[in-house]
Amino acid sequence: MMRLLFFILIFIGSFQVSAQRIVKGKVTDAETGDPIPFASVLLKGTSVGKSTDFEGNFIIESNVSADSLQVSYLGYFSQTKPLTDAREQTINFQLRPSDFELEAFVFEAGENPAFEIIRRAVAKKKEFDKRNLEAYETKNYTKIEIDIDQVSESFTQRKAVQKVTNVLDSIKQLTNDEGEKILPIFFSETLSKFYFRNNPELKKEIVEKSKVTGVGITDGSTTSQITGSAFQEYNFYKNWLNILEKEFVSPIADGWKGFYDYDLLDSVLIEGDSAYLLQVYPLREQDLAFSGTIWINTKTYALKQVDLTINKEANLNFIERIKIQQVLQPTASGPLIPSKTRVQIKIGQVTPNTAGLLAKFYTSADSVKLNDPQQTSFFNQAVVLRPDFDSGGEEFWKANRQDPLSSEELAVLQMVDTLRKIPVIRFYSEGLKFFATGYLPVGKVDLGPWPGFFNYNDVEGVRLGMGFRTNLKFSNKWLLEGYAAYGLKDERLKFTGSVTRILNRERWTTLSLTSQREIDQVGLEIESLAGNSIFLAASRFGTLRRPYLSTNHRLEFQREIFKGFLLSAGLRTSQFDPLYDFFYLEKDTGEYKSEFHTTEAKVGVRYGRDEIIIINDNERVSFGPSRWPIFELNYTKGFQWLDGDFDYSKLSLYVYQRLNMGMLGVSRYEAEAGKIFGEVPYPLLRNHLGNETLFYTNAAFNTMNFNEFASDQYFSLRYRHFFEGFLLNKIPLIKKLKWRGVANANILFGSVRDANIANAPTEDPDGNMLETFGRLDPAKPYLELGYGIENIFKFFRVDFFHRMTYLDNPGAKPFGVKISAQIIL
């Protein structure tokens, strides 16, 4: 009896030990080091297993006997590791990515069973789209890491790189299981509150705390505005997701059948809810469409999770992979809000001797509050920093992170902090910023811009210049700017000086005073071409067209009245001193005059309903509109006082919009209309911008000559369409080149009143012929049509233009070819 009891106790004890066998670990991507959520972890040879959570962690408790553990996940090679006899053990996995097979499944008859699931999910989109909430707000945590990866042997042998790697003793800590090195260069963490309001749709993020560490990062305030969750928004209930300025079609878009195929893999249990597991395939590998898996609730047909990838075969430059993983949680009102989102963007090597980049973004959201909308005025500024946003120490972040940092991320922080202090790194990072911005920070001032250091043209000969501007270290209320240049041929000093007082940074309000003496060209004024630096530089080298010396003084005021609505007003006096043969007839006396003076008062409004604006140091920076057009309305009044020679008025309206055309690509249009009231010399008319250079610009009519047409009333429309991969993606040989089609259509209506025509004599007082200006027939528009190819060798674009009207004008060319270089994805 005692022996039987003894064996029973041994059996029970062994059962208890077996029942308490615990296997835990983490599954990560071998290339990026990021967690792999939703992976299947199985005791090999059994049906016992678990799926990893969003952080890639798993715990399996079982009494089932097994000698190994297997991990598998779609898009990765499976991996198996042996188990030990220990009651508790930790086994980590690093999986290598594999490619999806797009045609792995063939259905013999009947409809694909996954189609009905997708059809029902699409029908329920409005019910679960968070944009249908009246309002919501969340507390968000965001972290961003940027690494240099694919570090080639030739890259590491460079002297500058060796100086870095010799300092970084900890570089061995940051390798994957294949021993491939990664070099982190940026890491940020942000705690913020995100606000959304519907009707009208408005968004705002208040950054409460931000911690930014990065190579070349000198001002955390600017960076902190773009590292929060406002720029990490991925809503798969939209038909199209804008990522890196490209439009990607959602797997549950209204037109899903034209882009995707699906396969129903399984029905799984996720947090107590049954969900369909579907594999997603793009119909064409070059399309901007996703591959991967999605989970759809079997009862409600709401999205539960997504794990989607844009592969390197897609028509993108430099991008080898974009991966988005997301978990969605239902709100009390029904619509879903992402609780956790992870994004990886892998940028490949441009050449075999360079390195690649890996950018990783993570956002988690909690403390959701619904249907308590803020006032419209609350959304005046899209991103706001708390006054003490950068004051949080390490103890604060340990206590307030929604997710603790991994040991790898802690090593990243240490390495980035070391990197940014190495002299050679500082030299190269400052040099890149100098090239990109035109200015070199030196203490409290920035020196530049470098394009103004040297010029050469027929009027000035060799021109040497230098300028500066103050930065945020000098003041966040005062901005001082200055520039001076001297021409060795004309021996004239040119200068620009300005002082700006920032009266209010939250509701952007400034007052500025500017004085300038500069050489300009009729129709090619610096002020109107400030955003087209390459075209402006090309037009100012060599022979200047109708040059004049401009001396002006400006007083300007601007204020944001409410979200997106900017009011501006100003007073300006200008002196026009021609450097070419120019005369006009004075209205009262009929005398020939060449110089004139103007005094103008100007008022304008600009409205961008969904335009995103951030404050970069002491300037406003626009990220453009996402859906609605931008409007600008300006009225200028010229006075015959304060030495003004003319009495006139100018009225103009400008509209810009970006249009998503779905599978056809993206369009942009710019429409402009204006009218000048009164009699003025032709330099004060609207001198329409032509382009005689070899370079393409969207600011000009590309087959029109300089100074070919001027108007006192006009309407123009410049339309550009980018086909992305449409059409060319379907041509077998061309699609491998990833060329993309573009199209242009530019039309201009204009006219000039007789009084303004009479102001421009065709002969000077001595009877010599004078250049005047060309005029459009009010019934005959100027029209040019263009087509072209961009993304040639990833950088170049060639446009072919046909001039359709005014072919008999002197110097008119019916056909033109323009080239440009651009870095686009």
In this predicted structure, what is the pLDDT of residue 420? 67
In this predicted structure, what is the pLDDT of residue 523? 82
Query: Considering the domain boundaries, does residue 101 fall inside one?
Result: no
Q: How confident is the model at residue 12 (pLDDT cuts 50, 70, 90)?
A: very low
Lowest mean per-residue pLDDT among 140-149, 322-331, 342-351, 636-645: 342-351
In this predicted structure, what is the pLDDT of residue 221? 59
- 678 φψ region: left (φ > 0), alpha (ψ -120 to 50), beta (else): left
In this predicted structure, what is the pLDDT of residue 668? 93
On whether both 581 and 625 belong to a single domain, the answer is yes
Lowest mean per-residue pLDDT among 386-400, 421-435, 545-559: 421-435
Number of domains in the chain: 3
In this predicted structure, what is the pLDDT of residue 128? 93
- Domain carrying residue 42: 2-95
Q: How confident is the model at residue 353 (pLDDT cuts 50, 70, 90)?
A: low
Reply yes or no on whether the pLDDT at 70 is more than 70: yes
Strand intervals (E) in 217-350? 240-243, 246-249, 260-270, 273-282, 291-297, 303-311, 319-330, 336-347
Encode pLDDT of 116-169 as tens digits.
999 999 999 999 999 889 999 999 998 888 887 765 555 566 665 665 655 555
Interatomic CA distance for residues 179 and 78, integer angstroms = 19
Q: Give the pLDDT mean for 169-188.
A: 60
Reply yes or no on whether the pLDDT at 551 is more than 70: yes
In this predicted structure, what is the pLDDT of residue 161? 61
In this predicted structure, what is the pLDDT of residue 554? 96
Reply yes or no on whether the pLDDT at 3 is more than 50: no
- Among 371, 396, 426, identify where a domain stops: 426
In this predicted structure, what is the pLDDT of residue 389? 84
Interatomic CA distance for residues 222 and 693, integer angstroms = 36
List all residues 6 or more positions away from 84 whose beta carbon is below 8 Å from its beta carbon: none
Which residues lie across from 497 on neighbouring strands? 482, 515
Q: Which residue has the higher pLDDT, 448 or 686?
A: 686
Q: Give the pLDDT mean for 654-676.
A: 90
Q: Give the pLDDT mean for 763-781.
A: 87
Lookup: tokens for 647:
């009495």
Q: Give the pLDDT mean for 441-458.
A: 88
Q: Give the pLDDT mean for 417-426.
A: 65
CB-count burial class (<10 Å; 0-12, 13-18, 19+) for 709 = buried
Show contacts of 162-171: CB within 8 Å, 24+ apart.
163/422, 163/424, 164/419, 164/422, 164/424, 164/425, 167/418, 167/422, 168/415, 168/418, 168/419, 170/411, 170/414, 170/415, 170/418, 171/415
Say how many Å lie between the first and final Cα of the chain, rounded. 80
List the CATH number of the domain containing 8: 2.60.40.1120
In this predicted structure, what is the pLDDT of residue 18? 46
Lowest mean per-residue pLDDT among 105-109, 114-118, 609-613, 817-821: 105-109
Q: How confident is the model at residue 260 (pLDDT cuts 50, 70, 90)?
A: very high
| CA–centroid distance for 430 within its chain | 22
CB of 401 within 8 A of CB of 189? yes
Interatomic CA distance for residues 683 and 522, integer angstroms = 6
Lowest mean per-residue pLDDT among 194-203, 302-311, 415-424, 778-787: 415-424
Q: Give the pLDDT mean for 570-582.
A: 94
Q: Which residue has the higher pLDDT, 674 or 32?
A: 674
On whether both 607 and 714 belong to a single domain, the answer is yes
Lookup: tokens for 549:
């010396």
Maximum distance among all Cα pairs of the chain, rounded to whole angstroms: 138
Encode 748-779: b = buried (16+ Cβ within 10 Å), e = exposed.
bbbebeeebeebbeeeeeeeeeeebbbbbeee
- Nearest Cα to Cα of residue 708 among 582, 525, 520, 523: 523
List all residues 6 or more positions away from 416 whose beta carbon is below 8 Å from its beta carbon: 184, 185, 186, 187, 213, 214, 215
- Nearest Cα to Cα of residue 388 among 259, 207, 252: 207
Query: Considering the domain boundaries, does residue 755 fall inside one?
Result: yes
On whether both 617 and 766 belong to a single domain, the answer is yes
User: To 10 degrees, the CA torsion angle through 581, 585, 589, 595?
Assistant: -50
Interatomic CA distance for residues 87 and 13, integer angstroms = 13
Q: Which residue has the higher pLDDT, 629 or 526?
A: 629
Q: Which residue has the higher pLDDT, 90 or 316?
A: 90
CB of 324 within 8 A of CB of 110? no
Encode pLDDT of 15-62 as tens digits.
444 456 788 888 988 877 778 888 888 888 887 888 888 888 888 888
In this predicted structure, what is the pLDDT of residue 715? 97
- Among 95, 130, 153, identify where a domain stops: 95
Q: How confident is the model at residue 220 (pLDDT cuts 50, 70, 90)?
A: low
Residue 398, classed as helix, strand or coil, is helix
Interatomic CA distance for residues 775 and 751, integer angstroms = 6
Any idea how long the chain is? Answer: 825
On whether both 555 and 631 belong to a single domain, the answer is yes
CB of 30 within 8 A of CB of 344? no
Please state, in angstroms and as integers, the Cα–Cα distance from residue 779 to each residue in 144, 483, 532, 605, 752, following that order. Answer: 57, 45, 31, 31, 12
On whether both 694 and 761 belong to a single domain, the answer is yes
Residue 78, CB-side half-sphere exposure with 13 Å CA sphere:
10
On whether both 55 and 163 belong to a single domain, the answer is no
In this predicted structure, what is the pLDDT of residue 14? 43
Query: Considering the domain boundaries, does residue 340 fall inside one?
Result: yes
Query: Considering the domain boundaries, does residue 547 fall inside one?
Result: yes
On whether both 394 and 510 belong to a single domain, the answer is no
Please state, in angstroms and as integers, the Cα–Cα distance from residue 275 to each residue in 74, 117, 295, 333, 815, following that order. Answer: 17, 11, 6, 21, 59
Query: Considering the domain boundaries, does residue 248 fall inside one?
Result: no
Reply yes or no on whether the pLDDT at 11 is more than 50: no
Interatomic CA distance for residues 169 and 149, integer angstroms = 17
Encode 343-358: b = buried (16+ Cβ within 10 Å), e = exposed.
bbbbbbbeeeeebbbb
What are the helix (H) ranges across 337-466? 394-400, 407-419, 423-437
Reply yes or no on whether the pLDDT at 746 is more than 60: yes
> What percentage of the chain has pLDDT greater than the value 70?
86
Strand intervals (E) in 40-134? 40-43, 49-51, 57-61, 68-72, 79-82, 88-90, 93-95
Query: Considering the domain boundaries, does residue 56 fall inside one?
Result: yes
Lookup: tokens for 754:
């007789």
CB-count burial class (<10 Å; 0-12, 13-18, 19+) for 224 = buried
Query: Considering the domain boundaries, does residue 264 fall inside one?
Result: no
On whether both 417 and 562 belong to a single domain, the answer is no
Residue 317, CB-side half-sphere exposure with 13 Å CA sphere:
19
List the CATH number of the domain containing 570: 2.40.160.50
Q: Which residue has the higher pLDDT, 235 or 611?
A: 235
On whether both 675 and 774 belong to a single domain, the answer is yes
On whether both 740 and 789 belong to a single domain, the answer is yes
On whether both 383 and 511 belong to a single domain, the answer is no
Interatomic CA distance for residues 732 and 728, integer angstroms = 9
On whether both 693 and 552 belong to a single domain, the answer is yes
Please state, in angstroms and as integers, the Cα–Cα distance from residue 92 to each residue in 61, 65, 317, 651, 668, following that order. Answer: 16, 20, 34, 69, 49
In this predicted structure, what is the pLDDT of residue 150? 64
Query: Considering the domain boundaries, does residue 554 fall inside one?
Result: yes
In this predicted structure, what is the pLDDT of residue 110? 67
Which amino acid is residue 791, in one-letter code?
Answer: N
Lookup: tokens for 196:
């959304």
In this predicted structure, what is the pLDDT of residue 107? 47
Interatomic CA distance for residues 689 and 695, integer angstroms = 14
- Among 426, 455, 472, identify where a domain stops: 426
